[in-house]
Structure 1
Amino acid sequence: MVKKAILIGINYPGTEGELLGCIDDVKQMHKSLVELFGFSEENITELIDTDKSKIQPTGKNIRQALSGLVGSAKSGDVLCVHYSGHGTRLPPETGEDDDTEFDECIVPSDNNYITDDEIIEIVSKVPKDCSFTFVSDSCHSGGLIDSAKEQIGESFKKKPKKEFKFPFGLTSINMLKRGTGRDDIEVGNIRTTIFDVFGEDATPKVKKFMKTEVMSKKEVYAGASNGGLENECVLLSGCQTDQTSADVGSKGQAYGAFTNSIQIILGETKGKINYKELVLKSRKLLEKQGYSQRPGLYCSDSYVNVPFIC
């Protein structure tokens, strides 16, 4: 058995959407994996945007890291991914069929969005009997792997809102404009802009959309024939699909509220806690601290009471 992890932290320095705590989240998670869960340093890969000596968390690099993590895994391995950064929701465009009305996405440092469909497709290739834990401290993260059963959460118990609003006002649009050098971006042409700028490095969902061969989520799920999505993947989300995740503190001492809650609980329990207990305790702690976000747990029934990560 080998334990491997990909840790992604994006602070977006110098942009309108700059965050403060994502890199610190990666450092804290790295420490916990080594000290509490027995991960070797050589099996932990960090992608952060505040240190040029590290692999930069661009869309292409994140895709390659995730695909490499899953592709090199063998039965019995333990895989962990932690993401701290912006999350957003792309509205549907003409000709697109989407069950949830939105594509939940994570936002790489170069704004080359990675959609929920793409994450699902990668996770579907996890080998049998190989565990995969995805912790996402980002806005709208409850929908990132929405084929996994919702064990704790409210993301799929209510109809999606028809209207679209960016999670942080016009920040998403402005970050895209600055990152791509395009001033003509608006809600109706986000996907076409991403394709124009990133081409073959764009998310497959965008490429399929541009070729008018739009693939619905049901088709993506059907491709996961080995049952990997249902049986092997566990998603811990910092909030529900219609919520945002808090970035707290100031330069020098900052963190994501969800990640911080996890670290507090892991410290108190020495890492001896199952998925369900961890998410429930995180919910209570965040509520006590005054945050409205409600973390979620998405996995098969067989993983609910399994020890966190290992």
Structure 2
Amino acid sequence: MALVVGCNYPGVPGYVLHGCHNDALAMREVLITRFGFDSKHVELVIDKPGSPIMPTGANIKRALNKMIDRAEQGDVLFFHFSGHGMLIQPPYAPKEEEVIIASDKNIITSVDFRQLVNRVPKGATFTILADSCQSGGLIDKEKEQIGPDTTPRNPNNTKPRMIPFQSFLQYFTSLTGNTSTDIGTHMVQVFGDDASLMFHDDPIKTSLRPLKPDEGILLSGCQKDEYSDDLTENVVKPCGAFSNAVQMVLKENPGRGLSNREIVMMARKILKRQENEDQHPCLYCSDRNANAVFLGIPTNPPHA
């Protein structure tokens, strides 16, 4: 089962992207044609005007929870997000926090993803592919397998999917009339129960622990101090640099089962080949899942 989300944020000044819908459509196609997903089990949600379901924070979390509720041992669960991401740091949040930004500007945090992963049945896998800025570590407490790169960056040659945090905070301050610098205060005031678990005084927050063995797998478009590019030039269609690199990796290796580690390392090589030195895809998961086949059923499911 899969949830594929693309947020272009049409009509939202300062937020508009161009490639995210194309990323989502391409991913849906490859899930069906290459990986054998039933089209009925691949939910596509994009913020195209007139779409019956918009990728709001509440709708994304609702769809992910529904998918996990239906999962059984041996199932393959997948979430692809193409859109804006952001890193929030103290004192603006209780701790450093990687987030994705939904179409309604609600944010889904690494704490939310940790809780989702903790609910995945033993023997099932949950893979997240995040093509968004500062997405390294998006599953809280997940082990880093392929992490920071020291290659010098060229910030003058990018069209990053970047939202400055101060402008994000100012937007919500204008909505709430609250002068607090704690973004959680604003998110709860605007979104109520649909705000991230991180911002609620809930005992579940203090009891979030990775299950062992852990089935959460994150392939992120960049590390937490980098920005993912939105490609609009020298491409057939606008697209996200990481999403496009993954599509190229799959096309260049037809019929071959690639591991999660191979997908990330090959995507890095493609970005370098394209002279993109601005982002370095990362991998976060258990040692076993690092070498497991991307979107493959575990060969040795853990015992309950």
Give the corresponding residue for 2:300: none
Give the corresponding residue for 2:261: 276
Give the corresponding residue for 1:11: 8
Give the corresponding residue for 1:158: none
Give the corresponding residue for 1:41: 39
Q: Partners of 1:40 and 1:128 in 2: how far apart? A: 22
* Runs of 4+ residues deviating >2 angstroms: 51-54, 91-96, 167-170, 172-181, 183-187, 213-216
AA in 2 matched with 1:85: G
Q: Partners of 1:180 and 1:130 in 2: how far apart? A: 41
Q: Partners of 2:288 and 2:135 in 1: how far apart? A: 22
Q: Deviations over 1:60-82 (max 9, x none)?
A: 00110111111110001111110
AA in 1 matched with 2:181: G
> Could you tell me whether the CA contact under 8 Å between 1:34 and 1:40 is conserved in 2?
yes
Q: Deviations over 1:158-195 (max 9, x none)?
A: xxxxxxxxx8364x554566578627577813221111
> Could you tell me whether the CA contact under 8 Å between 2:173 and 2:179 is conserved in 1?
no
AA in 2 matched with 1:77: D
Question: 3-state DSSP class of the match of 1:37?
Answer: coil
Counterpart pick for 1:131 among 102, 125, 129: 125
Give the corresponding residue for 2:272: 287
- Please report how far the alpha carbon of residue 274 of structure 1 lies from its aligned counterpart in structure 2 after TM superposition: 1.4
TM-score (norm 2): 0.85
Question: 3-state DSSP class of the match of 1:133?
Answer: strand
TM-score (norm 1): 0.83
AA in 2 matched with 1:295: P
> Could you tell me whether the CA contact under 8 Å between 2:133 and 2:162 is conserved in 1?
no
- Specify whether residues 280 and 256 from structure 1 end up closer, same or farther in structure 2 by C-alpha distance, changes over 3 A only: same
Question: 3-state DSSP class of the match of 1:286?
Answer: helix
> Could you tell me whether the CA contact under 8 Å between 1:271 and 1:308 is conserved in 2?
no
Please state if 1:202 is matched with 2:199: no
Counterpart pick for 1:308 among 286, 289, 294: 294
Question: 3-state DSSP class of the match of 1:245?
Answer: coil
Give the corresponding residue for 1:263: 247
Moved more, 243-252 or 134-143: 243-252
- Specify whether residues 5 and 95 from structure 1 end up closer, same or farther in structure 2 by C-alpha distance, changes over 3 A only: closer
> Could you tell me whether the CA contact under 8 Å between 2:85 and 2:162 is conserved in 1?
no
- Flag structure 1 segments of 5+ consecutive residues without an equivalent: 156-166
Q: Deviations over 1:200-244 (max 9, x none)?
A: 221121122xx8x7945xx422xx4x42xx531211000001111
Question: 3-state DSSP class of the match of 1:294?
Answer: coil
> Could you tell me whether the CA contact under 8 Å between 1:26 and 1:82 is conserved in 2?
yes
1:153-232 alignment runs, 5 A limit? 153-154=147-148, 168=162, 170=164, 172-174=165-167, 182=175, 188-208=181-201, 215=205, 219-221=207-209, 224=210, 226-227=211-212, 230-232=213-215
Q: Partners of 1:178 and 1:81 in 2: how far apart? A: 28
Give the corresponding residue for 2:76: 78
Q: Deviations over 1:44-74 (max 9, x none)?
A: 0011101423421101001101111111100
- Please report how far the alpha carbon of residue 146 of structure 1 lies from its aligned counterpart in structure 2 after TM superposition: 3.7
User: What fraction of aligned residue pairs are identical, expressed as a percent?
Assistant: 38
- Please report how far the alpha carbon of residue 289 of structure 1 lies from its aligned counterpart in structure 2 after TM superposition: 1.0
Question: 3-state DSSP class of the match of 2:136?
Answer: helix
Give the corresponding residue for 1:111: 105
Give the corresponding residue for 1:163: none
Give the corresponding residue for 1:161: none
Q: Partners of 1:25 and 1:36 in 2: how far apart? A: 16
- Flag structure 2 segments of 5+ consecutive residues without an equivalent: 150-160, 297-304
**CA RMSD of superposed structures (Å):** 2.6
- Please report how far the alpha carbon of residue 28 of structure 1 lies from its aligned counterpart in structure 2 after TM superposition: 0.6
Q: Partners of 2:228 and 2:255 in 1: how far apart? A: 23
